[in-house]
Structure 1
């Protein structure tokens, strides 16, 4: 929501750069942060004269630095700040390495997110050599609420990259046509789980539920291979919009419906597919929710509700990585225990080793686990009633 900051300059210090007129007057501005950080109460204007060392000291004191200089210099400042942050040391267990890496990533996010920029009523960025960011902003936020919008530069750069993916489209193995992902929706650049789904031999005429659909890619693959219909759900409104738009682009809108919902749609389906978040840790921000599932809550509830949403003879299709087990975040055999607890039988399963870039990157702190990662597609059916 728009809020009025009580002060905009560091007290007792000369400002090296000028605030935009609206902020100098103390006008309310709209604050956008994926991490739900409170609206800054003070914005300290800075420009190209600010060194990375000075910036790091100031953000560590809690300042939000409003960059008013050159766009490319602002990006270089972000890079210089990132290089000054400590990285986890080696020689740790997989779990210790994961915890240390996550803490480092969170510190980096918190630090870099304090370099912010201001956009005008038309979402124009008033930095020299700045690109046109208005379309990317409207795609994510809609129309401006106030004359000034303030956003972390790091987030804005992510939005620009996502807008380019959305414009160009993404080729997905087995999908006829391009997928156009939206900002904040999980990007299906990992093809392991997609290729596993393509191994299904008979989907013709089947009714599909797709739980946690994201871009809608799994529904679209099944529809193009002959499924009769697909009803998809996602708890994120951006994913719902993304999936709906992609169904229209691919000519599948008449057989595809997407709903903003926590888990299952009403009724039953012949195939219920789910590629859930695979790391049982709390998400740190909205984008994290596609990967992090605190205490396996989403996965537990999916398995508990699955039998009631399958038609007689129907199958649940669970696609999940074993990275959590390799990292020590989930004990071996835990998933199989959950199947039994929820009255599910593994009718069949197919697995593939990870082929994404991080599995081959020896400089990655989690390489020891990621190099052994396996993704499995489980065919699940309700246990037969005991006589």
Structure 2
């Protein structure tokens, strides 16, 4: 409870924990879930009856509108445990703000920030043992909302279900990552929902990403839908390019997700006097920089991956490999971010959020 506000969250504890059955050294991202989850329903025009209960199935009508009209949004967050067993969130209010921004775009009622934080803190305290110490270990947090009203009329739902589930995590990507620049398919268009974390954004990416994987790539860097001349973001990450010693990244728009990690990298670059330009980045300039040997790095930034170096890219049938960097920006930013997230360094930006033990 913060600021003296309480939302009377009902807690039903699991009769026994399944934690001893989990191999924390060999986790597959997003496949194992903690003992509890949060659930809250929007009924009669308000969010009500927030509950934390044992993780398990939910029951929905086959006609629930989420299945027919795609009213579903989500967020990605992480909790970290420091060497003193304190639990920290990283910029949670930015995630909550984006969650509600996504909700508005999909005609879903916004979720109260105070209830969100209080429910999340209660949930994390119940499942505190699932958050393991050590760099690289974290608890991935997935808040989401789905439309639950029965009926197949094409209109916004009148009822919704908000939930938070949690999954212990290590690295999101393993092995080397190579990407292809999109030439035909598009992730988002002007006036669309690209800036929202709408479930459908990701479902629509799977087919072209499968085609890319058949060619030996792990991800796509999406280009603008109108001309395919400008590089925008990757499937689950915002994208950065290092040309010489200068860092480039696309500006946010109604096509590009306002990534929390992205914003943090930009702030860290500015604080450490690394030249950075937030502007439209063309396919042509990146291909030419690669040919001239001026393209030093490409890396993705996102909650799940944190910072993910990209080893090479493909475009128009040509493949380009990137050189190893002794002074890698990707390694620098990842180290800086993780030092803050795990309470190993001063937090000049006030990004850490302590989950008080109850």
Structure 1-normalised TM-score? 0.27
RCO comparison, higher one (Cα < 8 Å, 6+):
2
- Structure 1 or 2: more strand by fraction: 2
- Structure 1 or 2: more helix by fraction: 1
Return the index of the structure with the highest Cα Rg: 1
Structure 2-normalised TM-score? 0.29
